[in-house]
Structure 1
Amino acid sequence: MTHVTVDGRDAPGQRGRVKVWDPLVRIFHWSLVGLFAFSFLTGDEWKKAHILSGYTIAGLIAFRILWGLVGTHHARFSSFIYAPSTILAFLRDSLTFRAKRYLGHNPAGGAMVILLLLMIAGIATTGYMMTTDAYWGIEWVEETHETLVYATIGLIVLHVAGVVLASVEHRENLVRAMVTGWKRAE
């Protein structure tokens, strides 16, 4: 069994495990989950809180893009952006429970990260536009904002389904890994 060390010292209770998700990735992930849900629930009902939540989400997205360029190995986009053919092959293998296990994001998970970042950036952008004089009350901006929100919810459902599928297929609790940062080394 692999023995993992942290900063050259033994990692107590982590024999056979490796730290994959750094604290900033995990804080980003769960903050985005909470703020997206909060923003969805407040919508037209609590405008000021909704707008503040949207600005916070925009800041989180900006941080994640930066961290995707300069962050830790598994946080970097270069570690999880794959060719479309690789993504499709991975999805096919997943549906037959023959997918390769990845320590970081698998090809489908990496694609989902990019899609969600783009969609939520679009939501934040159209949300901001709706607060400006130039776009106040412009129907296509409001419709685009709402369409992006519901499309993102669809992606979230697919993301959760993918996490469940991969957790079952590889006998690994990926939700716990995103809370603790640790995954099985092998």
Structure 2
Amino acid sequence: MTPDTSTARVWDLPVRLFHWLLVALLGFSWWSGEHHDMDWHRLSGCTILALLVFRIYWGFAGSRTARFSQFVRGPRAALAYLRTLGKRPYQAADGHNPVGGWSVIAMLAMLVVMVTAGLFAVDVDGLESGPLADYVSFDTGRAAAEVHHLVFNVLLALVVLHVLAVLFYLVGLRHNLVAPMIHGRRKTGAAAVAARLGASPWKAAIGVAIAAGFAYAVSKGFRF
């Protein structure tokens, strides 16, 4: 019997680029911060800011599976989904499942707080600072630096949970979450009819322009 290899698109290119660029930039931000290379650290942070602005925009204007309205569900939906994990065979969600959706929201929220705090942060000597540090007092800048560091640790914990969840799906449920985030497709079964993603290139271009323009303005401290 020939195995069913029907596939459908589940992630658009902007979502996939956002995911992997964010992974790379978070690692680079940690490295540049640890080596006190603050020019690169600020550049990396502003690039992450651009990614976040784009992802929030894409959560409203993007493809079907990218929209917040598609994967942000209430507690009942999350609990109902958790109860299905014991059933076999596992039925993959169309995009983020209700629990994964809240994981995405938590990570985005922590990233927004971390980046925002970094924009106003000041080091102990007052020599290195974020691009918006001039708008706050030294004490406020130091508090922002502490928040920036604390939230990074919280974000690391969320990343660890995310990796453990990916491993659980791979080993426990025999479901690969990584491959679709690379090539954008997953197996569906011959009888499945997949809805179009509906990713609009011109909407993506508008989002990129908005994100890049905002991040550039912030990097200059809104001074031109």
Pick the TM interval, shorter chain: 0.7 to 0.9
Count residues with an aligned counterpart: 172
Correspondences of 1:1-186 after superposition (within 5 Å)? 15-44=5-34, 45-91=36-82, 93-94=84-85, 96=86, 100-130=91-121, 131=130, 132-133=133-134, 134-136=136-138, 138-186=141-189
Give the conservation status (yes or no) of the 8 Å contact 1:135–1:141: no
- Aligned to 1:43, what secondary structure does the other structure show? helix
Alpha-carbon deviation of 1:109?
1.0
SS state at 1:18 partner: strand
Contact 2:72 2:101 in 1 (8 A): yes
Shifted more, 121-130 versus 82-91: the winner is 82-91
> What SS is found at the alignment partner of 2:73?
coil
Instruction: Output the TM-score relative to the length of structure 2.
Output: 0.71
C-alpha distance in structure 2 between counterparts of 1:142 and 1:152, whole Å: 15
Which structure has the higher relative contact order (CA within 8 Å, separation 6+)?
Answer: 2
Instruction: Tell me how far apart the structure 2 counterparts of residues 64 and 58 of structure 1 sit (CA, whole Å).
Output: 10
Relative to 1, partners in 2 of residues 1:140 and 1:106: Cα closer, same or farther, differing over 3 Å? Answer: same
Q: Which ranges in structure 2 are unaligned for 5 or more consecutive residues?
A: 122-129, 190-224
Shifted more, 142-151 versus 35-44: the winner is 35-44
Relative to structure 1, the CA distance from residue 58 to residue 136 in structure 2 (aligned partners, 3 Å threshold; closer, same or farther) is: farther
Q: What is the identity, as a one-letter code, of the residue corresponding to 2:68?
A: F
Q: What's the offset of the Cα at 1:100? A: 4.8
Give 1 or 2 for the bigger CA radius of gyration: 2
Unmatched segments (≥5 aa) in structure 1: 1-13
Percentage of identical aligned residues: 38
- CA shift for structure 1 position 135: 4.5
